[in-house]
Amino acid sequence: MTELLQYVANGLVSGGIYAIVAVGFITIYNVSKVINLAQGEFLMLGGMVTVALIGMNLPYGLAALLAIIAVTAIGIIMQKYVIAYVKKASPISLIILTIGISTLIRGIASFIWGKDAFALEPITSNEPISFGGVTIATQSVWILAAVLIILFLLWYLMDKTILGKKINACSVNPMAARLMGISPTKMSMLAFAISGATGAIAGIVIAPLSVTSYDIGVLLGIKGFSAAILGGLGNPLGAAVAAFLLGIVESLGAGYVSSGMKDAIAFLVLIGMLLVKPSGLFGERSVGKGGL
């Protein structure tokens, strides 16, 4: 029983990482109907920029803050100078465009930092936490806390603020939003900024658990996107739940079947669930593209 609980705990930590990435996907999709497959690179940049700034003798907190600001700015630039200029492109063309941006960012990161992996010190203590025979790293608590805080802030923004109502208006009907004096382009830019910030936070909190490198965002981006699809594209809470389920399945597969098969098992379960319920566990909006 203790072994099972340990696998579940490990899966929750992995799922927390996927949840942050999935929320970034959905934040952009809800506003602009763009599926941003460069989301994993936002995560990579968060960790790599923080490592680089700490290497320049900046304090940990300041380095992390500057990294988040930098990746947020990259998200804004991506929307303003790339996505906004091809707003009439088909959804498939936009997906290919974001894949190209993803490849470009990885190439630049590889040129700047090389292909080596870099370590980042834990935010607080490196001592493990034990309860009921289950042991997790202290950094894992930061990951789960980051997920809960991000979900709460997004819920508050969308449901309790005027800005959130503007974002929702652009999501539902961009033309009507324009007639009401709301700029869908600006709301889309805000969505990319939020997505960049959440991606950077994910990169910072997961780096101390392992290492970070120029290509770390590829697989994490795929799993985050899978969680978004599984939970119902357009449903942040559903995506978070699906991300945790995906993490747990992956961990159980690694523990009881084979660590080398964990990714294959997780995606096999994902495919099976989508065959049974193509709209996702909690339903999804149709994939397409509205106005920017």
In a domain, residue 127? The reply is: no
In a domain, residue 292? The reply is: no
The CATH code of the domain that includes 85 is 1.10.3470
In a domain, residue 288? The reply is: no
What is the model's pLDDT at position 67?
95
Dist. CA 150–CA 216, nearest whole Å: 21
In a domain, residue 198? The reply is: yes
Tokens 């805080």, located at residue? 149
In a domain, residue 24? The reply is: yes
What is the model's pLDDT at position 48?
94
Domain range for residue 252?
Answer: 1-122+134-281
Tokens 């208006």, located at residue? 169
What is the model's pLDDT at position 166?
87
Q: Are strands 134-137 and 128-131 parallel, antiparallel or unpaired?
A: antiparallel
In a domain, residue 287? The reply is: no
Dist. CA 267–CA 270, nearest whole Å: 5
Structural domains of the chain, count: 1
pLDDT 10s digit of each residue in the chain, 292 long? 678 888 888 888 889 889 989 988 888 888 878 888 999 999 999 999 999 999 999 999 999 999 999 999 999 999 988 888 876 777 788 889 999 999 999 999 999 999 888 888 887 776 788 877 788 888 888 888 888 898 898 888 888 888 888 888 887 788 888 888 888 888 889 999 999 999 999 999 988 887 889 999 888 888 888 888 888 777 788 888 889 998 998 888 888 877 777 778 777 877 887 787 777 776 654 444 444 5
The pTM of the whole model exceeds 0.85:
yes
Cα 261 → chain centroid: 23
In a domain, residue 143? The reply is: yes
Q: Is the dihedral of CA 257, 18, 280, 156 positive or negative?
A: positive
What is the model's pLDDT at position 147?
87
3-state secondary structure 260-288: HHHHHHHHHHHHHHHHHCCCCCCCCCCCC
What is the model's pLDDT at position 288?
41
In a domain, residue 245? The reply is: yes
